[in-house]
Structure 1
Amino acid sequence: MPFHLGIDSGGTSTRAMLVNEAGQVLFTGQAGSANFTTSPPRLVRQNLQKATSGCPEPDTVCLCGAGILTKATFLQAGDLLAELFPKARHRVTPDYYAAYASFDPPVCVCVISGTGSVVCSSGEHGFAKSGGGGFAIGDDGSAFRFGRAALRHFLDDPDECSCRVLQAIEKRFGTTEPAEVIAKVYGGRTVASQVAKFARPLAKDAADGLPYATEALRSEFQALATVVAGHVHRFLPPRTPLSVGLSGGLWEISLLFQRSFEKELGEVLPQRELHVRRPSKPPVYGAAKLAMNLL
């Protein structure tokens, strides 16, 4: 019976899952970030190797990776798979393919928010994507953006910062001296994933009603909902029911994130009957499903 390996590499973590033809999980592995645009190539290789260490030899491999945007990154990822799994048939896709494939039954549109964010769907003409752009110029409603809001609030007035944010900063950087924190952020290997960690304390601040945090939820999710609305109008048929899948680590942090986003989505799509749900399987399972299609 053939073995199929799915790899989901993102800005925060890399996960691997091996399944057989029946979909039975035979192996799982995990490692750190592997973004093909923002992570150093050495780190990408290291974390792909770590995530798949000890995995039985697969017949097919599908790598769904963050930062796979250009011909060069597609080739880089393909060469790496050929090196790590020389006997396997392989496929390389952007990371959002895995998230979309993890929904069963399928959704009309998938809203992925982790370290970054992206909106995607699949139709007669293949995959369509909106948003994204990376932490420097896009990624509305992502963990990075919320983490940045928490850090900016700290830098604006450390004395007004909540204890939980201060504790999170101290734990991650070993200091709460503003200049030192800035140096630590920019001195790290993965700026986006470091900053994204502070989305969790921001969610708790929002639950407590702190104005900076509630405003971050409103503004970020308004922007993300606008991206979704534009995608829906451009790529999906104008039927009333619209199933929306939420995938990515942000939605796992707090139910408040999902509720806030649903509110903003209803505002920008008032004529649609919205059905919002989370996947029953992780994105890496979607990558494994895509690997199964290679035979």
Structure 2
Amino acid sequence: MPLARIGGLLDAEPEVLAAEIAEIDRALRNRMAQLRRTRGELAQLQGGDRLFVTAEVADYLAELRDIGVSERHIRMERDGWILMHTAAPEDAARWIAEKREFLGDPEFRALCLEHDAAFDWSPEDPRLPALAARTRSWFADCHHRSEARPVHNPAIARLAEQSQPGASSPAWDRLAQLTRGQPASDAVEAGARDRRAGATRARPPRRIRATDRELTMSAVRVHHYSVDPAHLEQLLAQRAQLIGGIRAGFPGLVETRLIRLEDGTYQDIWHWETAEQLTAAVAASAAFPPVSATLALTSAGTVQNGEVIDEQ
């Protein structure tokens, strides 16, 4: 309080003195509350996460620290959430709630730790195939429980790889390819080169008969839906973005074909080299923002998977 006010208070009437003291007390309480808030903000600076991400994401990153995930991996996670929140804030809020739910699963926590450790492994490490198999099994089980739920998968991170330099390693590249079921001994460098170039390697359709059991059956995923004519142009643009993203992140997509039927509805056919590649892509791509953006432009949708037994 200013010293000049002290003399006036000494000579003030009791009622005036009481009012002045009450005012000083209120000012001191407000100042103390402000200092406590400042202390809390300074404490948050130590981790730095809450300066850039939502409280939910910051809590998730803290939970990762608690289970022993490395700071390197946490920085990658944080940067990924910043990108996702910028591109699709509503989806990001839903994803982080489900990621925190996943952390309640001991197997998911174990996979987090092993994926984190695998960053420094050799791409030829014999532990990678087993880790990929466990990862694939966990994703498939989660997808089976609810197809609409986004699923964490290293392949999703590949879609943002160009925006996050250093967010991968040769072992992680190899692990992602094994998880997707891509069996090539030299696929690590080839896969990274293809992703940078946005290349796709769709094989031409081949004739496959049910009696040719020695051949791997190709698979299709058939969507049937309606589209408001006013949204058709937007759907086509969004669908093209979706196809490009899926091809950049997953092998095996041979072709897609969108057909307008006589009743005005649409049949959207996605042809894959193998059912395994289809399943891996569907399980992981639920967390890819263009999926929800494309589906939002459709209505009365149904979907079925099928096996190609004859092509001519």
Give the strand-richer structure, 1 or 2.
1
TM-score (norm 1): 0.24
TM-score (norm 2): 0.24
Structure showing greater relative contact order (alpha-carbon pairs closer than 8 Å, 6 or more residues apart): 1
From the CA coordinates, give the structure whose radius of gyration is larger: 2
